[in-house]
Amino acid sequence: MQRAAAAIAAGQVRVTALLEAKRHAREAAAGVAVAQRGRGLASEVGLARKASPWHGAKYLKMSRILVEDMPYTLAALQSGRLTEARAMIIADQAACLAPADRRVMDAELCADPDVLDGCGDRKVEAAAGRVAIRLDHDAVMERISRHQCDRAVTARPAPHGMMYVTALLTSTEGLTAYQSLQAEAAAAAAASIAAGDGCQGRGALMADAFYRRVTGREVAAAVPVALNLVVSDESLLAHGPDPAVLTGYGPIPAAVARQMALAALLDPEAEATVRKLYADPATGNLVALESAARAFPKGLRWLIALRDQRCRTPYCNAPVRHIDHITRHADGGPTSAGNGQGLCERCNYTKEHPGWTTATVYDRHGRHTTELTTPTGRTYRSTAPPLPDGARILTSDIHVVRLHPAA
């Protein structure tokens, strides 16, 4: 079954490269400028693979490299000697090389089936990286220099009420930061043992050290960052079971939401407001707003971003950056919640390419839904995630929320 899965993956690679070649040929015949050919194809590939546009773009590029320049690697994938992930790792390491050097790497690593036999992902990456450096040191260094501009910090939900905060740094910066956190965690563990308090695991102590360094506060202290917590009145005040929604994270248990609210209530430094947000009791849709302006006003932008939570393109988990008219304003589309959707920057630009259309529909429960149709004629549906019944949003300037007692 594993060999069959690898063979299917090889077939997908070939079909993807063929799709790109056909699209470029068709657009060339139509007189499309070279720089404009294939625009939006990466997003189509991502949708077809049920992956994000970023993954679609990377897969499209790696497929082209494997089909055009790395026949031994593709054959190893076809036979099941390589997994799809490892074939993509090799292609990625070869991406900065000239086609002739890619073919040399391909033969060195995959012509002989024994070279990579038994190697995991990290070992395959290391082997391909060594060959790339030897074949074209300057190209590898130029790639490293170019990617230093990609330094970033990202956040994504983790299971069980946790969250990943990931920093993409240069290798030197990343290793220095990691070793510094290790040293601080070791000192904290020694101090805890000396005080007779027992000792947490090293990972938890490193996480605490990271948090202290970033926020300048202890783990249990309030943080001066505004967070939005959407919770029904029943869950907040009557121990109801309906989950709350922490904006930027996702659903959290009602008990956790109550703990957050209580912590803010007991913090004398916390200042916050309670803002009522009403939803249709039948569908859960937020109360619609509309504006005569072309641009979405602040309140309407906030409401749409709260409703959509993440980019509305299927399989794209990027944060909302743009509030987009589903039916263009120039075509008579209103500036309203029903005709608005939250998109990341990339997806907003992609839908403007020829052949892409989006329409507003509602699912059988009456929830706000969009239908996205690609140039290949495929249609994908996206439904706004559900919000707690009787939703109320609590915002805070420090930590999460402070509840003010009634006058």
Residue 112's closest CA among 82, 155, 144?
A: 82
> What is the rounded CA–CA span in Å between residue 238 and residue 30?
64
> What is the rounded CA–CA span in Å between residue 316 and residue 341?
13
Residue 230's closest CA among 369, 400, 382?
A: 400
> Residue 245, exposed/middle/buried by CB under 10 A (0-12, 13-18, 19+)?
buried
| Residue partners of 367: CB distance under 8 A and separation at least 6 | 283, 284, 285, 383, 384, 386
Q: Look at residue 124 in the predicted model and tell me its pLDDT.
A: 95
| Residue partners of 391: CB distance under 8 A and separation at least 6 | 230, 231, 232, 277, 278, 279, 286
Q: Please count the other Cβ atoms lying within 10 Å of the Cβ belonging to residue 139.
A: 16
Q: What is the pLDDT along the chain (407 residues), one digit of tens a residue?
A: 999 999 999 999 999 999 999 999 999 999 999 988 999 999 999 999 999 999 999 999 999 999 999 999 999 999 999 999 999 999 999 999 999 999 999 999 999 989 999 999 999 999 999 999 999 999 999 998 888 888 889 888 888 878 899 999 988 899 999 999 999 988 888 887 776 666 678 888 899 999 888 888 777 665 544 566 777 777 777 777 778 777 777 777 878 777 777 766 666 665 555 566 666 666 666 665 555 666 777 778 888 888 888 899 999 988 888 999 988 888 888 888 888 899 999 999 998 888 999 998 877 777 889 999 999 899 999 988 877 665 555 554 433 444 444 44
Residue type, 229: L
Q: Look at residue 399 in the predicted model and tell me its pLDDT.
A: 38
pTM: predicted TM-score of the whole model, two decimal places: 0.75
> What is the rounded CA–CA span in Å between residue 69 and residue 20?
16
> What is the rounded CA–CA span in Å between residue 373 and residue 380?
6
Q: Provide the H-helix boundaries in 70-166.
A: 71-79, 84-94, 99-110, 121-135, 137-147
- Enter the tokens of residue 403: 């509840």
Q: Look at residue 147 in the predicted model and tell me its pLDDT.
A: 84
Q: Look at residue 265 in the predicted model and tell me its pLDDT.
A: 65
Residue 400's closest CA among 279, 247, 254?
A: 247
Cβ atoms of residues 383 and 310 within 8 Å: no
Residue 314's closest CA among 44, 62, 61?
A: 44
Cβ atoms of residues 359 and 349 within 8 Å: no
C-alpha 345, offset from chain centre: 13
Write the CA distances from 115 to 88, 135, 382, integer angstroms. 17, 18, 45
> What is the rounded CA–CA span in Å between residue 340 and residue 322?
10
| Residue partners of 243: CB distance under 8 A and separation at least 6 | 235, 251, 252, 253, 254, 257, 388
What is the residue extent of each domain of the chain?
2-148, 154-215, 227-279+388-396, 290-383
Q: Look at residue 56 in the predicted model and tell me its pLDDT.
A: 95
Cβ atoms of residues 367 and 241 within 8 Å: no
